[in-house]
Structure 1
Amino acid sequence: MSDAEPVPLLLVGATGLIGSAVIEATATADVQLAALARREIAMPAGARLEMLVADPAQWPAAIVRARPATLAIALGTTIKAVGGDARAFRAVDHDLVIACARAAREAGARQAILVSSAGADAASRNFYLSVKGETEAAINKLGFARVDILRPGMLIGPRTGPSRPAERAGQILSPLIDLFLRGSLARYRSVPARAVAAAILALAGAEGRGRHVHYPADIHSLSRRVLTLKATYRAP
């Protein structure tokens, strides 16, 4: 990629559950996507994108060179994955996310799309949710013309890496649990990673300005735009 060719959409977090779903969607979705990761990854059949590989410390520089119009961030870890180290968790879910977003904004990006979490709140007593809320607030201050924040509940989809029995049990039970999440609690409902990925593609390049928060019902509505197009594309 040359400096004269800015990318319409750059994805950070390509190896995770949602990032993998975004990449898979490129097989049929009409989107120009570049994905940034720390290592080469196996591509799903038919995937169409440009893969950028760099050490995370060099991601901001890589983003500046790519000059994306829209930056989508599906980057995150868990406390367990970093051995219970709160600082290591924050270094990924806050510091690295903000460094990438700041680089994109300085390179001229108009829009940022952030995958956050249901219940994200900088004032929360829950460490995970407070970090997610602080990250949202920091991105809002970077000066993007438009910021889209996706707040899904539990993500449904096949995970790679170490087994997570509790999370697997939660995925199995989520359809039943969702039945009881009504009214204001509906924003905590589970969402398939595939739907979040489709919502990202639907939002990329969206017109309008300001901060837009999307809850599970919104994510499903957005995703139908892309998934319907995919079904049409596949039709004989």
Structure 2
Amino acid sequence: MQSRLPLPETDVPIRRVLLSGASGLVGGAVLSRLLAPGEPCTIVAPTRAPLAVSSPRLHNPIYDASTAERRSDSGLRRSLAGLKVDTWVCALGSTMAKAGNQAAFAAVDRDLVLKFAAVARALGARHAILVSSVGASAKSSSFYLRVKAEAERGLAEQNFPRVDILRPGLLLGERGERRRAEGIAQTLAPFYNPLLVGPLSRFRAIDAGRVADAVMALVRAGGSGWYVHEFSAMSRLARGG
């Protein structure tokens, strides 16, 4: 239970963070930053398989619900029963190639995201930080981007006092899985990024670590409202500005 997690010795208020997608590229980078020495937080990170990292401040419940439970959030709620959180960070994401079909993709990038949102709100979270995608739009011709937009729109129904949506372009970094198309795009990114200027700059590739740095700046933020952060805004946040 999170209430039993040892808290860092600090005069700064302790943040209790629920992290979805901790085993992914951005989620893993966020987790490493949350676990940094002196960072005043405890972390709950549900995953399908145990994480390779451990810490007295990290609670890693295994969420491996049955097919029937996946149609609702009952299994997820059971795995997090009794916990309280302040902030929810969501870095869940798949690809059409990995999912295999549109229904399976939407089940993760929209449905599971919104199940986590509902559970996070029920656990007391007042701040939601969602890693989405540049170009997310209900009017997009891309199924991928329409699903991302549907997840963003569904998040609004949970009434978090503060919502921050990050919309990165191609994510740069070493993944545990091979994605050939992304690998080629990452190789080309240093050449095409400088060509994307003005309104097109939001489509620039960005290092997953910089996205994680931006997330951390937002985790520390207060206030209320609905905010969308694209390349330039994420870069400023990552620099501490």
Q: Does 1:34 align with 2:50?
A: no
Q: Does 1:204 align with 2:205?
A: no
Give the equivalent residue in structure 2 for 1:51.
60
Give 3-state SS (helix, strand or coil) of 1:52's partner. Answer: coil
Instruction: Normalising by structure 2, report the TM-score.
Output: 0.85
> Residues 166-201 of structure 1, C-alpha deviation per residue, up to 9 Å, x if partnerless?
111101111211111111111111111111111111
Q: Does 1:122 align with 2:131?
A: no
Q: Does 1:21 align with 2:29?
A: yes
- Describe the shift of the 1:225–1:49 C-alpha distance in structure 2 as closer, same or farther (beyond 3 A): farther
Question: 114, 132, 141: which is aligned to 2:148?
Answer: 132
Q: Does 1:141 align with 2:149?
A: no
The Cα shift of 1:31 comes to 4.0
> Residues 78-125 of structure 1, C-alpha deviation per residue, up to 9 Å, x if partnerless?
110022x10010000000100110111122210110000000011211
> Residues 123-154 of structure 1, C-alpha deviation per residue, up to 9 Å, x if partnerless?
21110000001110110121000000000000
Counterpart contact for 1:7–1:67, Cα < 8 Å? no
The Cα shift of 1:62 comes to 3.3
The Cα shift of 1:209 comes to 1.3
Q: Which moved more, 1:18-27 or 1:217-226?
A: 217-226
The residue type paired with residue 23 of structure 1 is L
Counterpart contact for 2:2–2:44, Cα < 8 Å? no
RMSD: 2.3
Gaps of 5+ in 1: 227-236
- Describe the shift of the 1:64–1:107 C-alpha distance in structure 2 as closer, same or farther (beyond 3 A): farther
Counterpart contact for 2:47–2:62, Cα < 8 Å? yes
Question: 204, 208, 222: which is aligned to 1:189?
Answer: 204
Separation in structure 1 between the aligned mates of residue 196 and residue 27 of structure 2, nearest angstrom: 27
Counterpart contact for 1:111–1:205, Cα < 8 Å? no
Give the equivalent residue in structure 2 for 1:82.
99
> Residues 36-69 of structure 1, C-alpha deviation per residue, up to 9 Å, x if partnerless?
211112128x896332222254224434532211
Gaps of 5+ in 2: 6-13
Q: Does 1:107 align with 2:123?
A: yes
Give the equivalent residue in structure 2 for 1:12.
20
The residue type paired with residue 149 of structure 1 is I
- Describe the shift of the 1:64–1:109 C-alpha distance in structure 2 as closer, same or farther (beyond 3 A): farther
The Cα shift of 1:29 comes to 6.2
Identity among equivalent pairs (%): 40
- Describe the shift of the 1:47–1:224 C-alpha distance in structure 2 as closer, same or farther (beyond 3 A): farther
- Within a 5 Å distance, the mapping from 1:144-159 to structure 2 comes to 144-159=160-175
Instruction: Normalising by structure 1, report the TM-score.
Output: 0.86
